[in-house]
Amino acid sequence: MRWLELLVAGIFTYELTHSTVLVALVTVARSLPMLFIGTIAGVVGEALNRKRLLVTQLFVMAVSSATLCALAFAAQIRVWHLAVGGIVAGIVWAMELAVRRRMIGEVVTPDQVAPAVAFDSLTNSFARVLGPLAGGAAYQTLGLGGAYFLSAALYLAAGLTVSGLDFRQDARKLRFGRIAIDIAEAVAVARANPAILAVVLVSIIMNMFAFSYSALIAPIGLDVYRVHPSWSERLPQPSRSAPSRSASRYRQAGCA
């Protein structure tokens, strides 16, 4: 769902404002929480019930997408609404990564951990392809509200699925005073283990330089390759891409 929302938010922001800076800011709003709460999320996920955390996160995202859906259908949505929704999504994303990936190793037998992690990576790769495709098609045919309705429905379905999962974990008390200590211990382990340190450094480099293009997918697609969100047809040749019916509606309503 995150890839669907990422593309849809970028397309709408660019069609409405023609500002690559605002498109990047909307994307940054989604990524910034990872920087500040990513490590804290891991500590919290170790102490609290991970199944309940994951279900809560998915339902929060369903409510967030449903709110944006309602604003879009009412033609009252603003770019800053998308940015706030992105911040909520970023907070949930940071928590979800720490919680869900830990759960993967706990719901399977030890000899199945490697295949389970590999399958998780495979589904993530598929989602990177199918999510933007579904988002573009939904935005083109149903508008911004329809795209967020689809996102809310998928989050709700995922939350209901996880709620039925048979999952148990040992209870552990959350001590806020130990959060900084636990983070320091994790950093010490990473520094002492060359393999872990290498993975951390590669992750930092890839996220800073390799994945930064994702913020500009919408402007590049609309202005450089002149395509509609769903690739169904090419846009005309003027220097400014023609806004979709969805963006035109919000522009007329004064939502810029």
Contacts of 70 (CB under 8 A, 6+ apart): 145
Which portions of the chain are predicted below pLDDT 50? 232-235, 237-241
CA-angle at 191, arms to 33 and 104, nearest 5°: 55
C-alpha to C-alpha distance for 69 and 95, rounded to whole angstroms: 23
Predicted pLDDT of residue 212: 67
Predicted pLDDT of residue 48: 78
Predicted pLDDT of residue 243: 54
CA-atom Rg of the chain in angstroms: 20
Give per-residue pLDDT as tens, 54-82.
899 999 999 999 999 999 999 999 999 99
The first and second tokens of residue 59, run together, are 């339902």
Query: String of b and e for 19-55 (b: at least 16 CB within 10 Å)?
Result: ebebbbbbbebbbbbbeebebbbbbbbebbbbbebbb
Q: Give me the half-sphere count of Cα atoms (radius 13 Å) on the Cβ side of residue 218.
A: 31
pTM for the structure as a whole: 0.77
What one-character DSSP code corresponds to residue 175?
-
- CATH of the domain spanning 2-252: 1.20.1250
> Which residues are registered as beta bridge partners of 227?
234
Place of tokens 């593309």: 7
Predicted pLDDT of residue 226: 74
C-alpha to C-alpha distance for 89 and 33, rounded to whole angstroms: 9
What are the residue ranges spanned by the domains of the chain?
2-252
Cα→Cα distances 179→36, 103, 104, 189, Å = 13, 20, 23, 15
Can you tell me whether residue 107 is helix, strand or coil? coil
Contacts of 25 (CB under 8 A, 6+ apart): 83
